[in-house]
Amino acid sequence: MATNITFTMIKPDAVQNGHMGAIIDKIIKAGFSVKALKYTWLTPDRAGQFYSVHAERPFYNDLVKYMSSGPIVAAILEKTNAVEDFRKLIGATDPSKAEPGTIRNLFAKSIEANAVHGSDSDENAAVEGAFFFSGLERF
Ligand code: CMP
């Protein structure tokens, strides 16, 4: 059964280009409530840990370098059917394939610098949220 929690990061390109506020506004207007929010900067080690599931992929080293190139915003979001609805809101990983009006369509630069991350399952939402936030039982 779907839970009502997902996890997102606003990535370095979107933060650097001043899209942080517009993206958070879009998320809230889409019906998500923000349960936790953090402006932070990943070290290469922490970025590598977060994306360790992709360690064997050809884009992994560049992804780690990019994700530690500037500040990010990490957040836990709540909404009925959160994981699926959030992935619809952000659009396809490759922004050239993202539906018009989605966050990646509006704000992403490339498949790597794709503005936002969204968890792909309830299990990963819990793991990824715990990577950045403690005390989750209070949510
Ligand atoms: P995200 O949804 O955060 O999950 C994994 C990330 O790897 C993805 O967004 C992109 O930033 C990046 N990524 C996925 N596929 C590719 C690719 N083919 N080339 C470069 N980066 C990719």
Q: Which residues of 38-52 are buried (b: 16+ CB within 10 A; e: fewer)?
A: eeeebeeebbbebbe
Report the alpha-carbon angle 62-103-109, nearest 5. 35
Residues 6+ apart with CB under 8 A from 44: 64, 65, 68
Amino acid at the residue 48: G
With a 6 Å cutoff on the Cβ, whether 120 touches ligand 1 is no
- Domain 5-134 matching CATH 3.30.70.141: the answer reads yes
With a 6 Å cutoff on the Cβ, whether 93 touches ligand 1 is yes
Taking CB atoms within 8 Å and a gap of at least 24, the contacts of 56-59 are: 59/112
pLDDT at 89: 98
Digit-coded pLDDT (tens) for 10-23:
999 999 999 999 99
Rounded distance, CA 49 to CA 99, Å? 30
pLDDT at 139: 58
pLDDT at 3: 79
Nearest residue CA, atom 12 of ligand 1? 112
- Positions marked active-site: 117
pTM of structure = 0.95
Instruction: Kindly tell me if the per-residue pLDDT of 128 is higher than 90.
Output: yes
Digit-coded pLDDT (tens) for 56-90:
999 999 999 999 999 999 999 999 999 999 999 99
Which of 68, 75, 63 has the alpha carbon at shortest distance from 12? 68
Query: Tokens representing 119?
Result: 């968890």
With a 6 Å cutoff on the Cβ, whether 68 touches ligand 1 is no
pLDDT at 138: 59
The structural domains of the chain, with segments of one domain joined by +, span 5-134
Digit-coded pLDDT (tens) for 93-122:
999 999 999 999 999 999 999 999 999 999
* Reported confidence tier of residue 42, pLDDT bands at 50, 70, 90: very high
Which of 116, 119, 88 has the alpha carbon at shortest distance from 23? 116
Amino acid at the residue 127: V
Instruction: Kindly tell me if the per-residue pLDDT of 50 is higher than 90.
Output: yes
Q: What is the mean pLDDT of the chain?
A: 96
